[in-house]
Amino acid sequence: MRSQDPDMTAGDGPSDVPTVLVKDARDRQLLCFLEQLIPLDGHDYALLTPVDTPVCLFRLDDDEDPELIDTIDATEPILSVADVVLQEHDLTLVRSAVTLTVSGELDEPDPDELDDDENDDDEETETYELLVSFMVEEQEYGLYIPLDPFFVVARMNNGEAVLVEGEEFERVQPRIEAEIEEREDAL
């Protein structure tokens, strides 16, 4: 799928997938691969996957299940410590729209290793792989890579990709899923 839009450029991957820069309401950006365009209600909605690896921040505690930290300010001291730890692995933490991402060369998870991992007792951590853990003020944190595909929905608006959030996301998400399912069934 090619676009004549000047804001979309060819990706570096072997399949030459187009990329698009998504902006959120706070003007943060996330570079994504364009997976599909879906026309709805007179708009083109884009189904995207981040170019860099998405990561989730968890608070770790030996006595409790890991706690996902959904929102975190980009200037939070925890992220400064995560920066230093990732730099030791030649990785960079990116505070982008939608999610935190990590750029750099990451090893792909070994599916056999994931099945044999006995430390993941709860469902929450079964869908994530630990990238790094670190301590901040006597509290342990971990950056985890989601193992399920991470999709971003954006509305194409005058050649720009705008993140779909809130009520609009709730309204279009089931319709986008239905359209994708219909396309897959047609193949």
Find where tokens 């989601």 sit.
146
- Note the pLDDT tens digit of each residue in 130-166: 999 999 998 999 999 999 888 999 999 887 899 999 9
pTM > 0.85: yes or no: no
Residue 1 pLDDT more than 50? no
Residue 89: predicted pLDDT:
92
- Note the pLDDT tens digit of each residue in 61-81: 887 888 898 887 767 889 999
Cα gap 176→187, rounded to integer Å: 17
Residue type at position 185: D
Give the Cβ contact number of residue 53 at 10 Å. 19
Tokens of 91: 């990785």
Residue 83: predicted pLDDT:
93
